[in-house]
Amino acid sequence: MSSRLTMAIVTVIGGGVLAIACSGAITDDVYVGDVTPPGLLGSPDAGASAEAEAGLISYCPSNKCPAGWTTCPSSRFPCDVNLWTDVTNCGACGVTCPQGRANTEVFSCVQGACVLNCQRGFDCDGLLDNGCETPGHLDDNCGACGRKCSDPAKSCVAQDRNLERYDCGCPPGQVSCGFCQVLSNNDDNCGACLNACDPTGGGAPVLPNTYYGCIDGKCGALKCKRNYADCDGDESTGCETFVVSDANCGGCGNACPSGQVCRLDQSEQPTCMCPEGLTYCEYGCFDGICAGECVDVTGDPENCGACGARCVELGGSRSACNYGTCTMVCRQGRADCNNSQSDGCEVNTNSDPRNCGECGHVCDAVAGQACVGGRCVVEPCDDQTTGGATQ
């Protein structure tokens, strides 16, 4: 593409539109103001402009910023700040949206105004100053602004252990003990909240790998300790089988296929690892029980070529793992123009007039032509003609 768009002719013929770019590709440029070349970035309405009716419009390089864009004191390039989306220059240069509380609030800039997004809770009064003031467990705002719990028997309660979801009352079969839980087999809340079972059974016989807990809402039932099972059916031997083993992985007789081993997965459940094509990467071992996960070392940037071999991300790039080798992939709007991975994707092709849209694509420096969104800015030339176009 030419570094300077010197002329474009737009001709209206018989109610249709014929667009001719005389120098350069006009569709690769961005236009200033409300000007939309007929047939190129829009269609003419019944009241086509006088210039279009005359048959000709020419466009020239511009140093003016399109709507929403500007040059701020902190700018590196002309027109490189989008006041509609930039959280550090939202609506005007230097207007920074609030940081928000970590893991709770995130602010974004939408059409030049700071907008609050609640990660936990709700912003029910619409005021930015007090952030997300409603955590979602109040009867007048239960899980959503304005949602009221009208039934006294179903107050607003947490639905999960993480206290992230709230609703009026618990699902059928569950009771709220800090959060909604099933109490029929709950050793800490057996049949009722805070009714914790005595693991010794009040002096009952001690059997291998067992304890006394809750079954059917009653304490005193003999239960297996975590990762053990009663596979022989003989109560006198207790829970004799360790189920984090290759022969009994997660259950009695659940043997792992040849070449696989039994380990705890990310959810701490015994799992046969790993299927063909994946590699077992271990987190660590405790009391003889090892935990880890199965990964594809040919394509996992956290384990590229080997467990723990993490691909490093440099400026403007994201890491990628191709066939076990770390490679650099430039993010949209960035490019590696010096062919050196040491500084990542060092060029901003969205704003750099010397590399506008791609490395080496230069906007008109003499005219001070700006680069916006990876395209050189143009506007109607001062010298408009009706019978022909001139540079």
pLDDT (tens, 9 = 90+) of the chain, 391 residues, equals 333 333 333 322 232 222 223 333 333 566 665 444 333 332 233 333 444 445 567 889 999 999 999 999 999 999 999 999 999 999 999 999 988 887 788 999 999 999 988 877 788 888 877 788 777 777 788 988 888 998 988 999 999 998 888 999 999 999 999 999 999 999 999 999 999 999 999 999 999 999 999 999 999 999 999 999 999 999 899 999 999 999 999 999 999 999 899 999 988 899 999 999 999 999 888 887 888 999 999 999 999 999 999 998 888 888 889 999 998 899 999 999 999 888 889 999 999 999 999 999 999 999 999 999 999 999 998 865 433 333 3
- Give the pLDDT confidence score for residue 38 in this predicted structure: 34
3 state SS of 61:
strand
The structure tokens 């009716």 sit at: 53
Question: What's the burial of 212, exposed, middle or buried (CB within 10 Å: 0-12/13-18/19+)?
Answer: buried
Q: Return the percentage of the chain with pLDDT > 70, whole number.
A: 83
Rg over alpha carbons for the chain, rounded to the nearest Å, is 33
Q: Which residue has the tokens 């291998």?
A: 208
Closest CA to 141 of 118, 171, 113: 118
Element (H, E) at 9: strand 7-13
Q: 249 burial class (0-12, 13-18, 19+ CB within 10 angstroms)? A: buried
Residue corresponding to tokens 């928000």:
100
CA angle, residues 281, 256, 309, in degrees to nearest 5:
10
As given in the structure block, the two tokens for residue 62 are 């511009």
Q: What is the pLDDT of residues 219-258, one digit of tens each?
A: 999 999 999 999 999 989 999 999 999 999 999 999 999 9
Amino acid 384: pLDDT: 55
CA distance readout (Å), 44 to 15, 37, 50, 57: 9, 8, 11, 13
Q: Outline where DSSP puts E strands in 190-269.
A: 210-215, 218-224, 228-229, 241-242, 261-264
How many Cβ atoms are within 10 Å of 139's Cβ, its own excluded?
14
For position 162, what pLDDT does the model report? Answer: 86
The reported pLDDT for the residue numbered 33 is: 53
The confidence score (pLDDT) of residue 124 equals: 85
pLDDT digits 0-9 by tens, 91-145: 999 999 988 887 788 999 999 999 988 877 788 888 877 788 777 777 788 988 8
Pairing of strands 29-31, 375-380: parallel
CA angle 328/333/339 to nearest 5° reads: 40
CA distances from 7 to 56, 202, 382 (A): 10, 94, 12
Q: Is the dihedral of CA 369, 375, 379, 380 positive or negative?
A: positive
Beta bridge partners of 157: 167
Q: Are 77 and 62 in contact (CB under 8 A)?
A: no
Query: Residue 113 carries which side chain, given as an amino acid letter?
Result: A
Question: Which among 140, 139, 123 has a CA at the least distance from the CA of 131?
Answer: 123
